[in-house]
Amino acid sequence: MAGSETHHDLPLPRFDKGVRLLIVVAPYYRDIAENLVAGACAVAAEASVEVEVAEVPGALEVPTAIRLAQRHGDFDGFVALGCVIRGETTHYETVCNDSSRALSLMGLDGVCIGNGILTVENRDQAVVRADPDGQNKGGGAAAAALHLIALQRRWTGTTKGIGFRPRGEDTLIAGDPQGPKTV
């Protein structure tokens, strides 16, 4: 049973430069969403991180809101929060799979996202997982986003010298009799 397992939590990263974190939450189950946000905000406060919260109608809209904020906002990372409780139809699988897939694809594109969208069988499971003094999955999602931001900052500016060149690097063209030119 997972509830009796012990887990190792990494210490929160510390930042030299301020961090802006956007929490996007689907408050379909308001009490559960509020607990998830409280847990995420507590972890962000512990790391001295600035937080903004945005609400969307449901879990399927969370990835879209994050992508919009990533493109048009000024955030270092994102926390996706919400709850999907299994019902009698296949809608549960659609919402769980599509929201998770969209968040994962953005993550693979370099967007720092902590996924705290609960996918549970019943309300009791959601309540336990959302409890800021219990499993605190909202806080765990915020911590995940902060760790990814720390890694991104650690590795930003390092290049391997092969493959595509990062924006801002010059390309030297050989073969010119007066030496290489920069373009």
Residue 178 banded pLDDT, cuts 50, 70, 90? low
C-alpha closest to that of 66 among 116, 1, 11: 116
Percent with pLDDT over 70 in the chain: 84
Contact 25, 34 (CB under 8 A): no
Q: Which two tokens stand for residue 134?
A: 């219990």
pLDDT of residue 5: 79
pLDDT of residue 3: 60
Sign of CA dihedral 106, 37, 8, 135: negative
Contact 141, 79 (CB under 8 A): yes
What global pTM score does this model have? 0.84
Catalytic, 7? Answer no
| Catalytic residue from among 7, 8, 72, 91 | 91
**What does the alpha-carbon distance between residue 160 and residue 164 come to, in Å, rounded to a whole number?**
10
**What does the alpha-carbon distance between residue 85 and residue 107 come to, in Å, rounded to a whole number?**
24
| Residue pLDDT, tens place only, 29-53 | 999 999 999 999 999 999 999 999 9
pLDDT of residue 55: 98
**CA 163 to the chain's CA centroid:** 27
**What does the alpha-carbon distance between residue 40 and residue 118 come to, in Å, rounded to a whole number?**
14
Percent with pLDDT over 90 in the chain: 80
| Residue pLDDT, tens place only, 91-129 | 999 999 999 999 999 999 999 999 999 999 999 999 999
Q: What residues pair up with 20 in beta bridges, in sequence order?
A: 50
Q: Is the pLDDT of residue 175 over 70?
A: no
Q: At what angle do helices 137-155 and 123-130 cross, to 10 degrees?
A: 50
pLDDT of residue 6: 83
Contact 142, 79 (CB under 8 A): yes
